[in-house]
Structure 1
Amino acid sequence: MAALAAVLQSRSLGFPWLLRTWAGGARGAARGAAAGLHDYDLLVIGGGSGGLACAKEAAQLGRKVAVVDYVDPSPRGTRWGLGGTCVNVGCIPKKLMHQAALLGGMIQDARNYGWEVAQPILHDWRKMAEAVQNHVKSLNWGHRVQLQDRKVKYFNIKASFVDQHTVRGVTKGGKETLLSAEHIVIATGGRPKYPAHIEGALEYGITSDDIFWLKESPGKTLVVGASYVALECAGFLTGIGLDTTVMMRSIPLRGFDQQMSGLVTEHMVAHGTRFLKGCTASRVERLPSGQLQVTWKDLASGKEDMGTFDTVLWAIGRIPETRSLNLEKAGVNTNPDNQKILVNTQEATSVPHIYAIGDVAEGRPELTPTAIMAGKLLAQRLYGQSADLMDYDNVPTTVFTPLEYGCVGLSEEEAVARHGDDHVEVYHAYYKPLEFTVAERDASQCYIKMVCLREPPQLVLGLHFLGPNAGEVTQGFALGIKCGASYTQVMQTVGIHPTCAEEVAKLRISKRSGLDPTVTGC
């Protein structure tokens, strides 16, 4: 036994894992030696969509895989289970609450279609929240079962690097575990940002980490920010009948086509959401009544104003979950400005066997499907003899505001900046969904534009759709654009009548022509 210890000591510089194993006793050393150089072929840090997809794919390819996941509670104390942002505090509960708001509008429409609907129409937040939360919990359980079925080891521990192949995990109770792997994937995502400079922001505000898990209605709400998270939350809150105000410092939906973004906010204003434009909050205080008094400044005039709300929701951006990972111990480089992990086209970091995917990686779209595909492709490159890389061009997405905005490809601004105004042609139309006619709904903001190269056959650079079921519409056209569709080919496509999607295949009027783009007749 002493001789074995001496051998281990002599080799410790090259194999530090052996010393850790020896420290755990001779039985642990024998187990570690039998397992090979590392505990696992692949260790995934982060149990969100991208990390789980990568882990499950690698396991399907016959590798020994572990997933480490731990959720720090929000400042409000909100916790959730396995599945990451999308499942717990993002896409899934957001879309379900968006649907709740849409149903309210449909109930109003129903009277015009002959349904006798009792008045007033009331919404029960508690009942909706319970149903949404129960569904999310079922997804948490489903992910646990899937990992177990694929023989992926799951550790509910908070991870940080010890060295380039080793991670220390700490349980909620403080128990430590060391795990080593040949390859490590960082897929820790991000969390909402709090404005550190605003007095009372942390003490009294909530974020998207909390809104979907509230047991009681948030009541009169101030949403601070103009990101898609801000507008989606404000949209469904207004839609279920709550008094909702959005405070935005500059432009809405930064990074999206700004004409479309303007129409999104116009529709929200027309349907009851108030906007405080060009304003920044400076202080949040709790009044004796329990309400929150918010003080803000109008940036144009410099004047201060204030208002009272039941809830203040911060939606001013997200920060990557990298600060607690001890990345410096592994030599993983990050962008010093935003702490996102720098990666190459292979998703590899500055350390060749350590990878980063999803929201935590620099320059990647913060979208669930891109993280999932990137994770699967990474596992296939590592273990499936594949060389396929993730293609981040022409990724479609949808903003689930009350009037949904779907897009794929370049915005009009991006197309002009890249190709020049003289080389870009934009075809557009204002249209009225058939469903809006009998219900006498205003369709002023239902709008489509297709951004193309001007030179025949006019390659489609981007498509932007504002209207009902925008995600369903955009998904199909995204394939065409991914395959290099031209304007000519889209115009040769027969539309399905009567649908909103067919209006894309009828875009005949260009902005350059100056003609009225309003669709008349069918």
Structure 2
Amino acid sequence: MAVHNYDVVVIGTGPAGESAAINAAKHGKRVAVIEKQSHVGGNCTHWGTIPSKALRHQVRQIMSFNTNSMFRDIGEPRWFSFPKVRERSRVTIDQQVVMRTNFYARNRIDLYQGIARFKDEHTLVVRGSADKQDELVAEQIVIATGSRPYRPADIDFRHPRIYCSDTILGLQHSPRTLIIFGAGVIGCEYASIFSGLGLKVDLINNRDSLLSFLDDEISDALSYHLRKHGVLIRHNEEYERVEGTDNGVTVHLKSGKRLRADAFLWANGRTGNTDELGLENIGLKANGRGQLQVDEHYRTEIPHIVAAGDVIGWPSLASAAYDQGLNACNKLLESDFRYVTEVPTGIYTIPEISSFGRTERELTEAQVPYEVGHAFFKDTARAQITGDTVGMLKILFDQESLEIYGIHCFGDQASEIVHIGQAIMQQEGAANTLKYFVNTTFNYPTMAEAYRVAAQNGLNRVFQR
């Protein structure tokens, strides 16, 4: 067994692992990364963020073609098989893999492919293909192994019609009906994608509303538009059993309902990838969801071993994971450090959702007086030009100081638009007020102009008192 010595070893090449490794390398450290899969990029690139968003883009193009009267001169509305649509999205994945592989090469980071397991607190054994093994000894170790879908033992995921959010990308047929269990971010995104392809979708939610962490008005808008596209949402339901047959799946709910569809997608919860790390060899223990506990510096109970990304739980976003990996490594390197707490929400349903800051419910419960400013996209010139008139921008702000408390956006480009508000909210003192949007000249016509409209709408409410 070959033994190699490094300053920093990173386990995992998703956003957290990549940012930690490159950060360490740019600080002159000798760095190695370990990747279980045959290509770098982690779950984000191969099964999560990138493929689902690329798939969503293809579906939006199909929906635009099928609903825009201008295209009737070209031909009638078209039906596209899921495998064909999915295959087109693979182009993006391949581009991402090439780009990220080059990152490691340019920064002279050694890449080991195989399963990493702790031998002791400073040593990792990497078992690759053909029983090849390497032993990596490091002063500091970053655990960035990500997560995978939680799969209950009483559901047969080997059945060809039963999928989780990873395996659904390998769907080889084009079902007409689909049941999705779990109405979190992943479940809602896939409900949008499949309903956009013309499937009848049952979305089963074990809570009483969709995405309760969102502002209530935004959650209501999402529910409305999912239903508009043919999604039947069933709240407060739990499954009793899932039964696969030769040509479909029957879901038995505890309420007594029986639902049948061509395919079933489980999208309820995720588990940290820690079970193969040999944590027992170093005295670390993951929680019941496979996640590692860290302090405000991303350190585990062993100070020279840090963890970042989905493997530590909240917020389980690729954007946050990248920042967490960067800052976890900064702590190891004794550089400027930031614990990532303020993270914008980006949900790629159709239409998409993004928010930053507090919601109306949170402000009301905290007894904080506030006012609301709205801009509806149907009234903006850019949205009228593009035809993407669904949605709105909503600003919550203090009635007296005009300090901004929250930005909530629903509609086309929401995840891009929110960053303008985020930047202003993170300014100090008087710079973080509604007046910025009124006193700033925005390009016209743009979606960003919605900030000026929403700000003026909010000020009108204040001045009317």
Please report the TM-score for the alignment, with normalisation by the length of structure 2: 0.89
Supply the distance in 1 between the matched residues of 2:239 and 2:437 (Cα, whole angstroms).
46
Aligned equivalent of 2:293? 342
1:183 equivalent in structure 2: 140
Unmatched runs of 5 consecutive residues or more in structure 2: none
Structure 2 CA distance for aligned equivalents of residues 440 and 131 of structure 1: 24
Match of 2:39 in 1: 81
CA distance in 1, matches of 2:129, 2:175: 30
Contact 1:129–1:215 (CA under 8 A) maintained in structure 2: no
| 2:40 and 2:100 in contact (8 A); partners too | yes
Distance 1:199 1:315 in 2: 12
Q: 1:96: Cα distance to partner?
A: 1.2
User: Residues 425, 277 of structure 1: CA spacing in aligned structure 2 closer, same or farther, 3 A cutoff?
Assistant: same
Equivalent in the alignment of 1:474: 418
**1:142-169 deviation line (CA, Å, top 9, x unaligned):** 3233312322111111112222111122
- Of 270-279 and 399-408, more deviation after overlay is shown by 270-279
Contact 2:374 2:453 in 1 (8 A): no
Matched position secondary structure for 1:241 = coil
Q: Indicate the SS of the match to 2:250.
A: strand
CA deviations on 1:274-313 (whole Å, 9 max, x unpaired) are 222222222222334x211222233xxxxx1223212111
1:409 pairs with 357, 363, 366, which one? 357
Superposition map of 1:272-311 within 5 A: 272-288=230-246, 290-298=247-255, 304-311=256-263
Q: Look up the match of 2:440.
A: 493
C-alpha distance in 1 between matches for 2:325 and 2:340? 12
What is the CA-CA distance between 1:374 and the residue it aligns to? 2.6
Distance 2:106 2:205 in 1: 46
Shift in Å, 1:129: 1.8
Deviation at 1:387, TM superposition (A): 2.1
Write the distance in 2 (CA, Å) between the matches of 1:332 and 1:66. 22
| Structure 1 residue 429 displacement after superposition | 4.3
Is residue 226 of structure 2 the alignment partner of residue 268 of structure 1?
Answer: yes
Change (3 A) 1:159 1:218: farther
CA distance in 2, matches of 1:52, 1:408: 25
- Greater per-residue strand proportion: 2
Distance 2:453 2:460 in 1: 17
Instruction: State the Cα distance separating 1:115 from its structure 2 match.
Output: 6.1
Q: Decide whether the 8 Å contact of 2:210 with 2:219 is kept in 1.
A: yes
Aligned match of 1:159: 116
Relative distance call for 1:350 and 1:504 in structure 2 (3 A) is same
Alpha-carbon distance, 1:183 to partner = 0.2
Q: Which amino acid aligns with 1:357?
A: A
How many Å apart are 1:396 and its aligned residue?
A: 1.7
Report the equivalent of 1:97: 55
- What is the percentage of aligned positions where both structures have the same residue? 26
- Partner deviation per Cα, 1:463-522 (whole Å, 9 max, x = no partner): 00111111121122221122242122233233433333322222244599699xxxxxxx
> Is this contact kept in 1: 2:382–2:446, CA < 8 A?
no
Alignment of 1:70-219 (within 5 A): 70-71=36-37, 81-112=39-70, 116-196=73-153, 198-200=154-156, 203=159, 205-219=162-176
Partner residue in 1 for 2:374: 428
Give the CA RMSD over aligned residues: 2.9
Contact 1:81 1:137 in 2 (8 A): no
Q: In structure 2, do the counterparts of structure 1 residues 463 and 166 end up closer, same or farther at CA, with 3 Å as the change threshold?
A: same
- C-alpha distance 429-141 of structure 1, shift in aligned 2 (>3 A): closer
Shift of 1:329: 2.4
* Inter-CA distance 483–217: structure 2 relative to 1 (3 Å threshold): farther
- Cross-structure match for 2:35: 69
The partner residue of 1:396 within 344, 362, 370 is 344
Shift of 1:343: 1.6
Distance 1:268 1:177 in 2: 50
For 2:206 and 2:330, locate their aligned partners in 1 and report how far apart those are by CA, in whole Å: 44
Moved more, 491-500 or 259-268: 491-500
Question: Structure 1 CA distance, aligned partners of 2:216 and 2:51?
Answer: 27
Out of 266, 280, 301, the position equivalent to 1:314 is: 266
Q: Deviations over 1:400-422 (max 9, x none)?
A: 111111111222223333x414x
Taking a change above 3 Å as real, the CA distance of residues 218 and 353 of structure 1, as seen in their structure-2 partners, is farther
Distance 1:463 1:381 in 2: 31
Quick one: structure 1 residues 381 and 440, their matched pair in 2 at CA, closer, same or farther if it must change by over 3 Å? closer
Alignment pair present for 1:504 and 2:436: no
**Structure 1 residue 333: deviation in Å?**
5.2
Query: What is the CA–CA distance in structure 2 between the aligned matches of 1:406 and 1:199, rounded to whole Å?
Result: 33
1:107–1:117 CA contact under 8 A, matched in 2: no
- Determine if contact 1:235/1:268 at 8 Å carries over to the other structure: yes
Name structure 1 gaps, 5 residues minimum.
1-23, 33-37, 72-79, 299-303, 516-522
The offset of 1:88, in angstroms, is 0.8
Question: For 1:212, what is the secondary structure of its paired residue?
Answer: helix
Please state whether the residue corresponding to 1:252 is helix, strand or coil. Answer: coil
1:367 matched to 2:317? The reply is: yes
Cα displacement string for residues 429-463 of structure 1 (whole angstroms, at most 9, x for unaligned residues): 444154665898874xx23321223331x221210
How far apart in 1 are the matches of 2:398 and 2:164? 41
Bigger radius of gyration: 1
1:246 to 198, 203, 223: 203
Q: Secondary structure of 1:105's match?
A: helix
CA contact (8 A) 2:192 2:226 kept: yes
Q: Deviations over 1:327-355 (max 9, x none)?
A: 23223354x35342222222211111111
Q: How has the CA–CA distance of structure 1 residues 486 and 135 changed in structure 2, closer, same or farther, with 3 Å as cutoff? A: same
8 Å contact kept, 2:388–2:412: no
Distance in 1 between residues matched to 2:67 and 2:191, nearest whole Å:
22
Does the C-alpha gap of structure 1 residues 147 and 179 become closer, same or farther in structure 2, counting only changes over 3 Å? Answer: same
Structure 2 counterpart of 1:409, one-letter code: G
Contact 1:244-1:273 within 8 A present in 2 as well: yes
Answer whether contact 1:257 1:412 (CA < 8 A) is retained. Answer: yes
Distance change in 2, residues 1:436/1:472 (3 Å): closer
Tell me which amino acid in the other structure corresponds to 1:327: L
> TM-score, length-normalised on structure 1?
0.80
Note if contact 1:200-1:283 (Cα within 8 Å) is conserved in structure 2. Answer: no
Instruction: Indicate yes or no: 2:277 matched with 1:332.
Output: no
